[in-house]
Structure 1
Amino acid sequence: SELFSKSGIVLGQVLLTRDDFHHRTRYLNARNTIHTLLRLGCVPVVNENDTVATEEIRFGENDTLSALVAACVDADLLINLSDVDGLFDADPNSRSGCALIEQVVEITSQIEKLAGGVQGEFGSGGMRSKIEAAKIAVSSGTRMVIANAARPNVIADAANGKSVGTRFLGSPVGLTHRKRWIAFGSRVKGKVIINEGARKMLSQGGKSLLAAGIVGCDGSFEIGDLVSVVAEDSARVARGLVNYSAKEIELIRGKRSTEIEKILGYKDFDEVIHRDNLVLGV
């Protein structure tokens, strides 16, 4: 604070927990607070609220927290500083002659494998958590750079687009704020298991999830809760907000939408998860 005040910069501390991202209203409150501080000329300093965070709602590392905040406020760039130069094509701790990957256009399964379990000497997050953070950032249209904090002028150079560390390109069409919250902010309450036909309709056809494509569900969830949509081989397909509870889905799974009212005695929706409340690939 004293260092910034010498340059006439006012700081504003913002303390968050994972629970602040789980609840839609608190998520929007955090976004509005940070934007208000910026409009007032303050620099928000965001950290985890360790005084109230329990094991269930704590982040445990700042990589995820920083990515969620960047996505929440529409940041252009997220700079993740570490004690490593970036992402390498092999583990630099166990193999010599590794090459730094300067740019990642898409986070593929191969990129995820390169992250391995490598953890820096400082901080609680390793390279794996940084890649997970990059997924959140780029899906929201935010560029991210992983760079070495010891490099001179690293923040200014990264912000000016110079070749620093590993740069992850943001998606040209980022998720809407509502879908960012569905994909990364809220807590999953259960699973909906779908057949191959439904998986193709969601992934390739851009359709909503109907009861006919559901083969089962797991967990106890209610209408409006967030669930994970998985294939029969347990592969992740999507996340979405359900229009029916777990008990109702068990009764209507595999049935046509026209049969729902006959089975339940009512039908509020044709879709179990509407396309507008569904995010693929998470």
Structure 2
Amino acid sequence: MSNSRNGRAHLLQDARRIVVKVGSAVLTTQDGINRKTIIRLAGQLARLHDRGIGIVLVSSGAVAAGRTRIAETLGSSVAGAISDLPARQAASAVGQGRLMHDYDEAFGWFGKATAQILLTRDGLRDRKRFLNARNTLEQLLAWDVIPIINENDTVSVKELQFGDNDTLGAMAVGLIGADLYINLTSADGVFDKNPDKNPDAACMPLIENIAALDIDAMCDGKTASGSGGMYSKLRAARRAAQLGVPTLIVSGKNRFSLEHALDDNGPGTLVLPEDHTVSSKKFWMAYHDEPAGTITVDSGAARALTAKGKSLLPAGITTVKGCFEPGALVRICTQDDTTIGVGLTNYSSDDLNSIKGLRTSQIEALIGPVHYKEAVHRDNLLPDAAI
């Protein structure tokens, strides 16, 4: 892709599959779900679909729809008290059907069929279930159906939630092998600093190297809940970039036009993909779950991992934090807490604490023959992970 805005015009021409994520800030007003926005979005996506492009929509809004319905039936005081996880899950259960009804009706006016797909992080972390979800989506796309994905809030537990639909959108990119990720937001794009605090903040039309951005500084750190906002959108864009997929972050408010956003001089921010991409399987490995612990390594091990593409040996480990079993996803960092990457550990946290800093011969003398020389094998490691 060209490193200029001229590359934007080719996105739509070359795309065969697009994941579009739309958040609650776009879909809702103070009165609940904005059906006019849903109809307008359905029309935009239907026109892209008419070009032969496979469309997957990742949508928020179930909790908001449920809160509106609860206010209508049980009163505003009950709806206003919806804040903790069980209440939000219950509201999502109420609202999910209403949200899908609105989508199905809107897309039906444009001659399009839809399908509801509810996913959980716990389901996708199992490789067989991940592949089964992929096969289902492949069949729906082959039938020219538009899948509408949301997290299955009703059965998700806090520890295994995606956390936000930006994260789920990036996972969907890998799930279907998308060519483009469009994130519809309430902002006009990505700004070089927080526009709420800096009147001189400018929208960035192009981000050529998202890995080089200090996302924490641009977004004033994570949001209080650790989810949502521009931070999560940029993190999702970085993950998509690792798959070689560009991301367009553009406003979904007012009378937006996806086709205009894909013009050379269209609005929003285009995030270019990375030159060196990762496999879909390694992407799944790195982002299917939150790290269960942290392994800190010395400077020699850090160089071997980052510059030489080596595996992590126990000899290079200095400290181990967390409680985890073999096969768990762990964060690997330097002694100043800079993340090197994430990977699947061959040992439990207890075993690593026993053998850290030891060479293989020393380990065997201590505990006998070992099945794995590596604490984390390079085939099960993603350097520079966007976590």
Contact 1:77 1:159 in 2 (8 A): no
Give the distance between the partners of 1:198 and 1:208, measured in 2 at CA. 9
The 1:20/1:269 distance shift into structure 2, 3 A limit, reads same
1:245 Cα shift?
Answer: 1.9
The equivalent of 1:83 in structure 2 is 186
1:224 aligns with 2:321: no
- Matched residue of 1:272: which SS? coil
- The answer to whether the aligner puts 1:66 opposite 2:159 as a matched pair is no
Match of 2:358 among 255, 264, 267: 255
CA RMSD for the aligned pairs?
2.2
Higher helix share: 2
Question: Equivalents in 1 of 2:190, 2:290: separation in Å?
Answer: 29
Greater shift, 235-244 or 1-10, is seen at: 1-10
Q: Which residue of 2 aligns with 1:150?
A: 253
CA–CA separation in structure 1 for the residues paired with 2:339 and 2:221? 21
Per the TM alignment, residue 50 of structure 1 is displaced from its structure 2 partner at its CA by 2.1
Give aligned-pair identity as a percent: 37
2:220 maps to 1:116: yes
1:158-210 per-position Cα deviation (integer Å, ceiling 9, x unaligned): 45665330010112332112211222112322222211110011011111111
Residues 96, 217 of structure 1: alpha-carbon distance in 2 compared, 3 angstrom cutoff = closer
Q: 1:93 & 1:219 partners in 2: Cα distance?
A: 37
TM-score by length of 2: 0.67
**2:313 is matched with which residue?**
210
2: distance between equivalents of 1:106 and 1:100? Answer: 16
Q: How does 1:181-200 map to 2 (within 5 A)?
A: 181-200=284-303
- 1:260, distance to aligned residue in structure 2 (A): 2.7
Whether 1:163 and 2:266 are equivalent positions in the alignment is yes
CA distance in 2, matches of 1:271, 1:179: 18
TM-score by length of 1: 0.90
Taking the aligned partners of 1:159 and 1:29, their CA distance within structure 2 comes to 32
Aligned: 1:176 with 2:270? no
* CA distance 1:162–1:180, shift in 2 (3 Å): farther
Read off the aligned partner of 1:18 and give its amino acid letter.
Answer: R
Contact kept in structure 1, 2:216 and 2:222, CA below 8 Å: no
Cα 1:256–1:95 shift into 2, 3 Å: closer
Write the deviation string for residues 196-251 of structure 1: whole angstroms up to 9, x where unpaired: 11001101111111111111212222222211112222221111111222222222
SS at match of 1:13: strand
Is 1:29 aligned to residue 132 of structure 2? Answer: yes
Any unmatched runs of 5+ in structure 2? 1-103
Which segment drifts farther, 224-233 or 102-111? 102-111
In 2, the alpha carbon distance for the partners of 1:51 and 1:253 equals: 41
**Structure 1 equivalent of residue 66 of structure 2:** none
Contact 2:215–2:221 under 8 Å retained in 1: no
11-20 vs 93-102, greater mean Cα deviation? 93-102
**One-letter amino acid of the counterpart of residue 113, structure 2:** V
Structure 1 residue runs without a partner (length 5+): none
